[in-house]
Amino acid sequence: MTTLKKGDKAPDFSGFDQDNKFHQLENYAGKKLAVFFYPKADTPGCTAEACDLRDNFERFKANNYELLGVSADSAKAQSKFKDKFKLPFPLLADEDKSVIEAFGVWGPKKFMGREYEGISRTTFVINEDGIIDEVITDVKTKAHAAQILK
């Protein structure tokens, strides 16, 4: 689905998080940024992934990383998800899918034989200069921090 690859310039995205705070790529200059796209807040796989990142948050900070979660959920749903699991990083409420489409993670999916359109669980690791260092498409939800921090 995504055509972005290691070495590409990250899309110049912008959007609002669960608290209506504005985020854009340039806010993260000088830091590594892991942008993780997930299908739906407060579902089993997405919860496992977010909680693994939460549990390793201090390791991310120690390595100059910022984390940013993105889904097409509403700000209200993102806020509930963040509060329920005490997530220490912002969650973009990308209801118009502008960030999702900029990164190319929206498209056909299959679940139990049914095809539908949705978000492919994908993480982009962006370096301090705004260049993509890694694209993780085979996300291990219970051990995702280790995939990023290797």
- What are the residue numbers of the active site? 46
CA distances from 68 to 28, 106, 108, 117, 125 (A): 10, 17, 24, 23, 10
SS3 for the chain, per residue?
CCCCCCCCECCCCEEEECCCCEEEHHHHCCCEEEEEECCCCCCHHHHHHHHHHHHCHHHHHHCCEEEEEEECCCHHHHHHHHHHCCCCCCEEECCCCHHHHHCCCEEEEEECCEEEEEECCEEEEECCCCEEEEEECCCCHHHHHHHHCC
